[in-house]
Amino acid sequence: MKHETMEFKDGKLRLIDQRKLPGEIDYYVAENYRDVEFAISDMVVRGAPAIGATGAYGVYLAAEEFKDESKEEFMKKLKEANQELAKARPTAVNLTWAIKNIEKLIEKNKSLSTERITEIIFKVAEKIAKEDVEINKKMAHNGNTVVVPQGARILTHCNTGALATVGYGTALGVIREAHRRGKNIKVYADETRPRLQGARLTAFELVEENIPATLIVDSVAATLIRDGEIDLILVGADRIAGNGDTANKIGTYMLSELAKTHDVPFYVVAPTSTIDTDIETGDEIEIEERAREEVSHIQGVQIAPDEIDVYNPAFDVTPAENITGIVTEKRVIEKPFVQGIKEVKNI
């Protein structure tokens, strides 16, 4: 993609403001961890890998803010900041994964000065961001093997591209790789209600990459799948349980049921950091509920009466039995997922 999802420069985190795409390409500048928390919770930045990297920079900005305090106060305030950051998007495990990894390093190096600890945190944040791009390209390479036949018609949901990561993408990264290798693919992109990430973000990336694509309303997917117009479904993930159950953008579970009914391969594409082996099944995944206005309004224009109740879960859980395989940077995990997940987490 032509535009950077994020850049840390001169002590500030610069994020492409995804709330304004595709109409306006603008950047949100986070100067402290509170700005980062807002950017994550208000979806300036979104997508599990991107949220993880952003959260890591948020920890650094908090450490930078408190490093002149006593060691005791530094540790106390940093822990409070980390807790606040972790609550910004509870379903996306990459956020808590990044924060927990940094907290382990803080504990390991707690005898050092606050300045030195802050330097270590920054290096970790930079490493997470750099490695995300490398991991995405490995996933794209592995995922390219499941893109069949030549000329495959691929359905995708939400946004899983460079905008959802530090760069390149997860499911959209696989699509990008297949296009680069001349597989003559065609993409159908769900609009993805209620925030329209498919229409605003995925379509934006596909047009920038000159990948043949068609935007559809979410409910058209069923007709295309039934009529044999879809060869493959590729989606991302915000959290994968130890058994392979996967939380992803609302509407994913519905697609998986259609795929199972009509025998269409359904692949989840996600880094191993999105796999949460601390939970056994999807029943343990906390599903974030978002504001009613996301459903009752579109781009600030009211489309529903004030008196109507709204139920707005941001994610749903696709059972492992509906998933053909899980594409990671290490390999494509096939059933039984429990064993395969254990293996890739231990590599």
Q: Is residue 173 a contact partner of residue 161, using CB atoms and an 8 Å limit?
A: yes
Contact 293, 106 (CB under 8 A): no
CA gap 312, 343 in Å, rounded: 36
d(CA 238, CA 250): 11
**Whole-angstrom distance, CA of residue 314 vs CA of residue 106:** 32
The amino acid sitting at 85 is: L
Q: Which of 35, 238, 245, 276 is catalytic?
A: 238
Question: What residue ranges in the chain does DSSP mark as E strands?
Answer: 6-9, 12-16, 27-30, 153-156, 186-190, 213-216, 232-235, 239-241, 246-249, 266-269, 275-276, 297-298, 301-302, 315-318, 325-327, 332-334
CA–CA separation, 117 vs 68, rounded Å?
Answer: 12
26 carries an active-site annotation: no
Question: What CA–CA distance (Å, rounded) separates 166 from 54?
Answer: 9
Please state, in angstroms and rounded to a whole number, the distance separating the CA atoms of residues 322 and 266.
Answer: 7
Sign of the dihedral defined by the CA atoms of residues 196, 46, 48, 200, in that order = positive
| C-alpha to C-alpha distance for 131 and 133, rounded to whole angstroms | 5
What b/e string do you get for 117-155 counting C-beta neighbours within 10 Å, with b at 16 or more? bbbbbbebbeebbebbbebbbbbbebbbebbeeeebbbb
Please identify which residue in the block is written with the tokens 């920079």. 57
**CB count in 10 Å sphere of residue 178:** 26
- Structural contact between residues 81 and 193, judged by C-beta atoms closer than 8 angstroms: no
Active-site amino acid positions: 238
